[in-house]
Amino acid sequence: MASSTEHPATKALLDRMQHSRVEGVAIAPGDDFRYLIGFSPTPDERPCYLLAGFRGAALVMPSLNARQVADHTSLPLFSYADADGPAVALEGAAEAAGVPSTCSRLAVGDSMRADALLVLLAKWPAMRPESASRLVGGLRARKSEAELGRLQATADLADQAMTEAFSACRPGATERDIADAASLAFREGSAEEVCHTIVASGPNSAYPHHHTSVRRLAPGDPVTIDIGCRVEGYCSDITRMAILGDASREYEQVHAVVEDAVQAAMARVRPGVACAAIDAAARTAIERAGYGEYFTHRTGHGIGLSVHEGPYVTGTNRELLEPGMVFSIEPGIYLPGRFGVRLEEIVVVTPTGGRRLSRLTRDVFSAR
């Protein structure tokens, strides 16, 4: 029989399955896999699965990953050689986990490759795949004290990297120079990975997800800096604004509106409030100032092992906040061809409200 208790998250998943209508769960390498057993192999084209069923959980692994994965878990592991393919190993793991041969409802991880899903469909032809996010995502959304400690550590490092990025803002510097300064601070700190370094200057700041370029900064340019890293598996994400020299009156006005939106959204954070209400608070502040059409994205996203995960702070998400949930609040205003402003905080839901992880001010940094 497969072991179901060797990792608390795996046991929690199996418990949740008892109250669902699915007959099995299949998770591919990635952040869900890492959450459930404490480790994830490098994903590639070879099918890898964590299978969960009514007996417990088991693993399907290509031979090149089997020994490394076995060092991190005592779950039954069925390996296969490249020349043989995964069919026999999948059969063994399904039997061990208790996924029935007639399985028609299998929940699969959201990041599973299409070719890996096709292998499962060949094994269970009557299977109707559905998302495993409501099972696994519900577990990941509420962070433990240990997870919150890791998120604080990675947020602290992001604050340091942002300070270095500010220092690199000067006339003639390129967007890549600023991104490199942040990346270096991450690498010299405790980061195991630089997740993203978005630097958008001048009119590029009107693109919410601008691709950092070699554009050189000029006096008067606003600069959006959106960066994040991974520490002990957990991610950070922070956005702040800089400006070269003195800000124009229009820039100051737009920045103040975005700041009002952040404050309005943060004031609504408490257990029992719907994610949609947080989005509405930020959006209403921007709409009342006349910039509603220029706020073109959701207000936020959850963060943890993934930079983007649930809960998603959208106008349609009725999910209620619970203590331990962690998500971004990042409203923005983007004036095409001119400039944009976005400010981002990572917020933890506490029993009485919310608290932010960053210790940095949201005031625009004036680079001289």
Domains by residue range for the chain, with CATH:
8-140 (3.40.350.10), 142-367 (3.90.230.10)
Question: In the prediction, which pLDDT does 53 show?
Answer: 96
Q: How far apart are CA 243 and CA 202, in angstroms?
A: 9
pTM of the model: 0.94
Q: How do 234-235 and 222-231 pair as beta strands?
A: antiparallel
Question: In the prediction, which pLDDT does 234 show?
Answer: 98
> Which regions of the chain are under pLDDT 70?
1-6
SS3 of 208, please?
coil
Buried b (16+ CB within 10 A) or exposed e, 140-171: bbebeeebbebbbbbbbbbbebbebbbebbee
Question: In the prediction, which pLDDT does 292 show?
Answer: 98
Residue with tokens 């000029």: 218
Report whether 228 contacts 185 (CB < 8 A). Answer: no
Q: How far apart are CA 364 and CA 357, in angstroms?
A: 19
Q: How far apart are CA 347 and CA 209, in angstroms?
A: 21
Report whether 21 contacts 40 (CB < 8 A). Answer: no
For residue 119, how far is the Cα from the chain centroid? 27
3-state helix, strand, coil in the chain (%, to 5): 35, 25, 40
What size, in residues, is the chain? 368
DSSP H or E segment with residue 12: helix 8-17
Strands in the chain per DSSP E: 24-27, 49-52, 57-62, 77-80, 105-108, 128-131, 193-201, 222-231, 234-235, 238-244, 300-302, 309-313, 326-329, 332-335, 339-342, 345-349, 354-356, 365-367
Q: How far apart are CA 44 and CA 50, in angstroms?
A: 15
